[in-house]
């Protein structure tokens, strides 16, 4: 009797079943003598990153991308997502061009290309457009930077925010402004508010104006001046500021108009006790500090900020310096944090199934991040309850990269001195 009948290559039925079963478990054999283990390559998990990489916010958007990528590199260098067999993260890149409709179409493209989660996008208007899409497509969306409260007030189930809300920003601004005036004994009487006329600029400054009215602080807002995002000439607006004779300026801006604004204030010799940003970028980025030199000194900004005393920040900053030069600023640090939060959720989910990722995100309690604030935890709207701001001031330092210093709160402070009032721009 032919003992090989019914099997391949002389393998008996028992051996065949054994090998077939092993194959089904991810094992195969080069010979049927001693099976050889071939480990299946872990699946790559794609994360869609939509940032304003071109257009008026390109400097910030490109840095945001780098922050996303730096965190992806960190996770992959540590072995990937262990609960998924060491699956590596892959960043898919989208460019919003600072336009909501483009941001939405880019997010849609990344979803079609396999993104399991979306991160980004810096601008609230773009975030709103992507949030709507994410909800429709059923894809988790973790906003690393975008503050407009309304984004998370629509009952979305797929949207989470690592960044602070505009309401939180405003609260920090009022708190720190009061602390500065009380501690220095310098009380401005008149103020002007300026803002970019995009959704964030209008929402942030509008909320700040309302909060100032309710605060009882002895400063009168005598003028509010708005201008388009991406404006190239602010001479007319600065003339209005000068005519209003403010003691202090509260700008809600971006880096491009901040540079133009402070140079025009210098050119027109507008006397001010100081510039106090209630909560916007533009006044602390390395490019701003480097570009305007002494004109940047003594600007104060209330901002979600890096925690320079944190070992997590120090390691991330060292990696940033090695790879990109400069230092890991707050926008990039939040982009970095956004990816860490996603990776933490994937690790606990042990799956790329949307429902399991969402369930893990809702249970987030992430402490090992590089920014000021408590653990990242999401409330029922998807907002981070641990988010908070710091007050930073640009102060003299031989190294331009070390000029932006935390002055409040004390637990995170790098400098115990707040310079207010500031020397006039043309007297430095």
Q: Residues 354-365, buried b or exposed e (16+ Cβ, 10 A)? A: beebbebbeebe
Top mean pLDDT of 3-12, 54-63, 379-388 is at 379-388
The pLDDT assigned to 40 comes to 56
More confident: 179 or 329: 179
The closest alpha carbon to 364, from 388, 348, 381, belongs to: 348
pLDDT category of residue 286 using cuts at 50, 70 and 90: confident
Lowest average pLDDT, out of 17-21, 177-181, 394-398, goes to: 17-21
The pLDDT assigned to 52 comes to 97
Q: What is the rounded distance in angstroms from the CA atom of residue 315 to the CA atom of residue 310?
A: 9
Average pLDDT of span 233-243: 98
CA separation (Å) from 304 to 105, 200, 392?
Answer: 29, 15, 10
Work out whether strand 390-394 and strand 300-303 pair parallel, antiparallel, or are unpaired: antiparallel
- Cβ-based neighbour number of residue 253 at 10 Å: 26
Q: What is the rounded distance in angstroms from the CA atom of residue 346 to the CA atom of residue 147?
A: 24
Residue 3 has pLDDT above 60, yes or no: no
For 43-65, what is each residue's pLDDT tens digit? 899 999 999 999 988 988 999 99
Q: Is 265 helix (H, G, I), strand (E, B) or coil?
A: helix
pTM, whole model, 2 decimals?
0.79
The pLDDT assigned to 16 comes to 39
């Amino acid at each position: 009797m032919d003992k090989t009948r019914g099997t391949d290559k002389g393998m008996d039925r028992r051996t065949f079943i054994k090998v077939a079963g092993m194959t089904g478990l991810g094992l195969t054999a080069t010979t049927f003598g001693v099976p050889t283990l071939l480990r299946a390559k872990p699946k790559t998990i794609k994360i869609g990153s939509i940032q304003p990489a071109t257009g008026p916010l390109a400097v910030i958007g490109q840095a945001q991308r780098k922050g996303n990528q730096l965190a992806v590199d960190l996770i992959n260098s540590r072995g990937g997502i262990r609960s998924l067999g060491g699956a590596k993260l892959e960043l898919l890149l989208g460019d919003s061009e600072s336009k909501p409709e483009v941001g939405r179409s880019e997010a849609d493209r990344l979803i079609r290309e396999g993104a399991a989660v979306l991160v980004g996008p810096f601008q609230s208007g773009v975030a709103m457009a992507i949030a709507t899409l994410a909800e429709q497509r059923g894809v988790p969306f973790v906003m690393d930077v975008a503050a407009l409260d309304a984004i998370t007030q629509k009952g979305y189930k797929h949207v989470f925010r690592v960044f602070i809300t505009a309401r939180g920003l405003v609260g920090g601004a009022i708190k720190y402004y009061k602390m500065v005036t009380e501690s220095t004994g310098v009380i401005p009487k008149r103020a002007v508010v300026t803002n970019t006329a995009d959704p964030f600029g209008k929402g942030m400054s509008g909320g700040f104006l309302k909060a100032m009215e309710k605060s009882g602080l002895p400063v009168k807002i005598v003028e509010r001046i708005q201008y388009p995002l991406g404006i190239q000439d602010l001479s007319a607006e600065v003339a209005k500021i000068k005519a209003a004779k403010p003691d202090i300026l509260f700008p809600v801006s971006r880096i491009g108009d901040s540079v133009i604004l402070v140079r025009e204030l210098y050119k027109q010799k507008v006397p001010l006790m100081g510039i106090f940003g209630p909560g916007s970028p533009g006044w602390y980025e390395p490019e701003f500090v480097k570009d305007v030199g002494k004109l940047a000194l003594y600007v104060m900004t209330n901002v979600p900020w890096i925690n320079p005393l944190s070992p997590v920040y120090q390691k991330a900053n060292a990696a940033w310096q090695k790879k990109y030069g400069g230092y890991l600023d707050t926008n990039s640090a939040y982009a970095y944090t956004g990816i860490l939060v996603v990776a933490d959720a994937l690790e606990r989910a042990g799956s790329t199934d949307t429902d399991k990722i969402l369930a893990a995100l809702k249970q987030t309690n992430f402490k090992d991040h590089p920014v000021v604030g408590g653990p990242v935890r999401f409330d029922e709207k998807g907002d981070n309850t641990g988010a908070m701001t710091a007050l930073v001031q640009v102060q003299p330092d031989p190294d331009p990269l070390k000029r932006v210093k935390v002055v409040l709160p004390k637990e995170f402070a790098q400098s115990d001195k707040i310079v207010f009032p500031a020397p006039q721009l043309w007297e430095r």
